Amino acid sequence: MLGRLLLTASHSDRLRDFVATAPVTRPVVDRFVAGEELPDALTAVRGLTDGGLDVTIDYLGEDITDASQAERNRDAYLRILDAVAPLGLGGRVEVSVKLSAFGQSLGADGHALALANVRPVAEAAARAGTTVTLDMEDHTTADSTLGILDELRRDHPGTGAVLQSYLFRTEDDCRRLATAGSRVRLVKGAYREPASIAHQDRRAVDLAYVRCLKILMAGDGHPMVATHDPRLVAITRELALRHERQPGTYEFQMLYGIRTAEQQRLAEDGEKVRVYVPFGTDWYGYFTRRLAERPANVAFFLRSFVPG
């Protein structure tokens, strides 16, 4: 119930303004967001990569209303790639993009606009020796996002995509994408979706995740197992043994600030672990989705308003 309310609140401008201007909430936001500017993100990237973790950088720029904002988001990614190329870390530092921020949400031309804006980012990533992963947003964007993935993979086969286990369609999408060279990030899903197309019950979402995981781990692609759920991490490691997959032929992914000790423990145990590092001024939607995932985060957030 609380999670649903928060996902609704993620679209509220008034609440956004309140949270953004209340200084007491800043430490709570900082737990999940690496900062507002590129140097903040680069500091986080250096800390994580020095500690043996890989990263994917997400520039927070959702909810755009015109094409010029989409171009600004594209340019922000080009600056990120310019800044990470000299680090010489290749694929250890990649970028994640939300196609809504590249124009996908701007009416009938949105699909073509997003493709035109993301293509130069995929080219810049290739020049920097790294990759782009397309985040998945609400279900209305799934066909367009997977269509753009297919277009980009013609020239950049390592372009990755996210599939959400809560959608009924996802097992079929996993089968289609479990092929050599593909990179699929499997998540449970973070948006509020109708019962006609998505599992509503947490256990059903978890069971669907395991079915999808089995398809991806048995296939020839590179599964990116994006979850903080200890049971799913353990099942992944069992499947890796069963399919004789070495660490690095699949990877774990977790979000910045969530289960950081577990990120480190898995890496020290020889697993490839990538941390999703979001930064930027437009952090509100991302932040409320993280609160919605866990009631304890809401308590932490509310406590920040209590003095002393």
Which residues of this protein are in contact with ligand FDA, per CB under 6 A?
A: 135-136, 162, 164, 185, 187-191, 226-229, 253-255, 258-259, 276, 290, 293-294, 297
- Catalytic: which of 58, 135, 173, 206? 135
Residue closer to ligand FDA by CB (options 7, 106) is 7
Rounded to whole angstroms, how far apart are CA atoms 79 and 85?
10
Q: Is 274 helix (H, G, I), strand (E, B) or coil?
A: strand
Q: How far is the CB of 229 from ligand FDA (least distance, A)?
A: 4
Return the half-sphere exposure (C-beta side, CA atoms, 13 A cut-off) of residue 103. Answer: 21
Residue closer to ligand FDA by CB (options 70, 206) is 206
Name the residue with tokens 């196609």.
99
Residue closer to ligand FDA by CB (options 276, 284) is 276
For residue 69, give both structure tokens. Answer: 């904002």
Q: How far is the CB of 225 from ligand FDA (least distance, A)?
A: 9
Please choose, from the candidates 138, 93, 95, the residue with its C-alpha nearest in 3D space to the C-alpha of residue 118: 95
Residue closer to ligand FDA by CB (options 82, 150) is 150
Rounded to whole angstroms, how far apart are CA atoms 14 and 211?
40
Rounded to whole angstroms, how far apart are CA atoms 244 and 196?
37
In 89-159, beta strands by DSSP E: 93-97, 132-134
Neighbour-count burial of 18, counting CB atoms closer than 10 A to its CB (0-12 exposed, 13-18 middle, 19+ buried): exposed
Q: Output the CA–CA distances (angstroms, integers) from residue 177 to 113, 167, 268, in the order listed.
A: 24, 16, 30
Q: How far is the CB of 109 from ligand FDA (least distance, A)?
A: 23
Is residue 79 part of the annotated active site? The answer reads no
Rounded to whole angstroms, how far apart are CA atoms 222 and 288?
30
Residue closer to ligand FDA by CB (options 46, 259) is 259
Cβ neighbours of 81 (radius 10 Å): 23
Residue closer to ligand FDA by CB (options 88, 299) is 299
Rounded to whole angstroms, how far apart are CA atoms 286 and 58?
10
Q: How far is the CB of 97 from ligand FDA (least distance, A)?
A: 10
For residue 265, give both structure tokens. Answer: 């423990």
Name the residue with tokens 């279900």.
139
Is residue 135 part of the annotated active site? The answer reads yes
Q: How far is the CB of 82 from ligand FDA (least distance, A)?
A: 23
Q: How far is the CB of 80 from ligand FDA (least distance, A)?
A: 17
- Catalytic: which of 16, 92, 153, 185? 185
Residues with a catalytic annotation lie at: 135, 185
